[in-house]
Amino acid sequence: MITIPAISEDLRSIGDKVHNGERITDEECLLLFEKASLGFVGSLANEIREKKHGDKTYFNRNFHIEPTNVCVFSCNFCSYSRLYAHRDEGWELSMDQMLDIVKKYDGQPVTEVHIVGGVHPKMNLEFFADLLRRIKALRPDLHIKGFTAVELDYMFRKAKMTNEEGMRYLHEAGLDSIPGGGAEIFDEAIREKICADKVNSEGWLAIHEATHRQGMHSNATILYGHIENYSHRVDHMRRLRELQDQTGGFNTFIPLKFRNKENDMSDVAETSVIEDMKMYAIARIYLDNFAHIKAYWPMLGRQNAQLSLAFGVDDIDGTIDDTTKIYSMAGAEEQAPSMSTAELVTLIRQAKREPVERDTLYNVVKSYGGVNLSEN
C-alpha cells in the first residue's frame, strides 16, 4: 500500500490560498522552501500555470549580440567576463561586426535581438545609442532588448545622466525593452561577497522602475543556488513583487541557476534538479502579479526545460542560434545553444504542451497547436 505523506495545517492553508487565488505571504513562501515537498509545490504551481495559460508554452525567434566580455567589474560567480586589465584574453566586437550579425538574419522571421555583455569603458552610452539607431535603420521591425541594469548604471553615471534621462535617451535611439540580468541576489551582504563592485539592489530596481516609467517593459531574474539561503530568495522575490505592484512593467521572471565552472566560486556545489524545479514552482506560486515564468533552456538543458513545464513554467526562451556564450562558458548543459523553430515546437509537444510563438511582449505570432511540422 502506498502511504501518502501527511500535509501540515500550515501547508494545507497555503494550498487553500492558492486554490482561491489569494496572495501568499513571505513567511508562507519561506515555509514552502523549507517544508513542502516537490510534489506539493509542483501541483500548486501547475494549477496556477494552467489557470493563466492553459497548456500554452511560449518561445520566440531571437538571436544575441554580445559586444564584449571585457568588463570593469569582477563578479566571483562569473565565468564569462575578462577584466579590462586583461582584455587581450577577451573579445571586443566593432560596430561593423555587430551590424553584420544583424544582417545575417536578413529575410528571416526573427523578432528580437538581445544585446548584453561586459561593461567596457570605451563602449559608452553614445556608442550604444549609435548601435541602436543603426540596427533600427537596418531592421525597423526588430525588437531590441538590450543592456542589463549593471551596464546601464555604468553608462548613465559616466554620461552624468539620471536613470530617467538615460532610459529616455536610449528609448528614443531605438531600445524597446531591457533584460533582467544583474539582479543576482538583492541581499546586500550576499552581494558584497559575490559582486561587490557593481550596481547594488536599490540601483537595479531603480533602473527597472525608470524603464517602466518610460512605458517600456523589462524582465527580472534571480541567481540562485550558491551561498544564499531560502530567506534571501524570498526577500529578492518580495522586492520584485512590490515593484511589479507599482508599475506592472515586468514581462517575466527567470530563475537562473548558479554554475560553478571556471569562476572564483568553483568550490560551491551546484543545486540538484529537484531544487531547480522547486525554485521554479515556488516562484510561480509567490509572484502572483507576474504573468510569466521562464526557464532558460540553454542553462537547464533541453530535458530539464521540458520538465520545468510541469512546475509552473510557461516560457522556454527562443531559438538563440548559438549566439550566446554567457552560460556555455560556465558549464551549462547546452554548449552550442541553438534550436530551430521545429525543434522548439517538438520539444514543447513532447511535454504535452501547446507551442506558441510570441514576440518579446507576449503577443502571439503563431500557435502551433494543430500545425504539422513538415509544413514549416
Per-residue pLDDT of the chain (376 residues; tens, 9 = 90+): 444 456 799 999 999 999 999 999 999 999 999 999 999 999 999 999 999 999 999 999 989 898 887 776 555 555 545 454 445 566 789 999 999 999 999 999 999 999 998 776 777 899 999 999 999 999 999 999 999 999 999 999 999 999 999 999 999 999 999 999 999 999 999 999 888 888 999 999 999 999 999 999 999 999 999 999 999 999 999 999 999 999 999 999 999 998 877 666 777 778 899 999 999 999 999 999 999 999 988 888 889 999 999 999 999 988 866 444 444 444 445 445 578 888 889 999 999 999 999 999 999 999 997 545 444 4
> Contact at 8 Å (CB) between 333 and 304?
yes
Residues paired with residue 58 on neighbouring β-strands, in sequence order: 315, 356
Question: Cα separation of 131 and 358, whole Å?
Answer: 25
pLDDT the model gives residue 82: 47
Q: List the CATH code of the domain at 9-14+23-367.
A: 3.20.20.70
Can you give the pLDDT at residue 296? 87
Q: For residues 309 and 57, is the Cβ–Cβ distance under 8 A?
A: yes
Note the pLDDT of residue 371. Answer: 45
Strands (E), the chain: 56-60, 62-65, 70-71, 82-83, 112-115, 143-146, 177-178, 217-224, 250-257, 292-293, 315-318, 354-358, 364-367
What's the CA gap between 294 and 283, in Å, rounded? Answer: 10
- In this predicted structure, what is the pLDDT of residue 5? 57
- 325 near 69, Cβ under 8 Å? yes
Nearest to 294, CA basis, from 326, 253, 258, 355: 253
pLDDT at residue number 123:
75
pLDDT at 323: 43
List the alpha helices (DSSP H) in 269-316.
Answer: 273-286, 297-300, 302-308
pLDDT at 6: 65
pLDDT score for 264: 64
Q: Give the strand pairing for 354-358 and 364-367.
A: antiparallel
Q: Give the single-character DSSP code of 137.
A: H
Q: What is the pLDDT of residue 226?
A: 93
